[in-house]
Structure 1
Amino acid sequence: MNVSTLSSTPVWRASVMLALVTLLGFGLLYSLAGAGLGRVLFPHQATGSLIEHDGQVIGSSLVAQPFADDRYFQSRPSAARYDVMALAGSNQARTNPDLRARIDEARAAVAAREGVAPADVPGDLVTQSGGGIDPHLSPEAIRIQIVRVARVRGLSVSEVERLVAQHTEGRQFGVLGAPRVNVLELNLALDAFGTPE
Structure 2
Amino acid sequence: MKNHIVSAFRLTLVMLVIVGIYLAIVYGGSKILPTQGNAEIITHNGQKFYANIGQEFKSEKYFHGRPSSVNYNAAGSGGSNKGPSNEEYLETVQKRIDTLKLQNPEMGNAKVPVELATASGSGLDPDISEEGALYQVKRIAKVRSLSEEQINNLIKNQTEKPFLGILGPSKVNVLKLNIALDQLK
Q: Per the shorter chain, which TM-score range?
A: 0.7 to 0.9
> How many pairs align?
161
Q: Which runs of 4+ in 1 moved over 3 A?
A: 41-47
Structure 2: distance between partners of 1:133 and 1:55: 23
Give the TM-score normalised by structure 2: 0.78
Q: Deviation per CA, 1:39-71, whole angstroms, max 9, x where unpaired?
A: xx88965652110124431x1110111111111
Structure 2: distance between partners of 1:149 and 1:138: 17
Within a 5 Å distance, the mapping from 1:72-87 to structure 2 comes to: 72-87=62-77
> Structure 2 residue aligned with 1:121, among 108, 112, 115?
112
> Structure 1 residue aligned with 2:78, among 83, 88, 97?
88
Q: Which structure features the higher share of helix residues?
A: 1
Within a 5 Å distance, the mapping from 1:4-153 to structure 2 comes to: 48-57=39-48, 59-115=49-105, 116-117=107-108, 120-153=111-144
Q: Which amino acid aligns with 2:62?
A: Y
Give the TM-score normalised by structure 1: 0.74
Contact 1:108–1:118 (CA under 8 A) maintained in structure 2: no
Q: Secondary structure of the equivalent of 1:181?
A: strand
Q: CA deviation at 1:193?
A: 1.2
Q: Tell me, which stretches of 5 or more residues in structure 2 are unaligned?
A: 1-15, 21-26
Structure 1: distance between partners of 2:79 and 2:144: 33
Q: Tell me, which stretches of 5 or more residues in structure 1 are unaligned?
A: 1-21, 27-33
Structure number with the bigger relative contact order (C-alpha 8 A, sep ≥ 6) is: 2
Q: CA deviation at 1:94?
A: 1.3
Larger Rg: 1
CA RMSD of aligned residues (A): 2.5
Query: Which residue pairs with 2:147 in the alignment?
Result: 156
Quick one: percent identity of the two aligned structures?
33
Structure 2: distance between partners of 1:63 and 1:118: 31
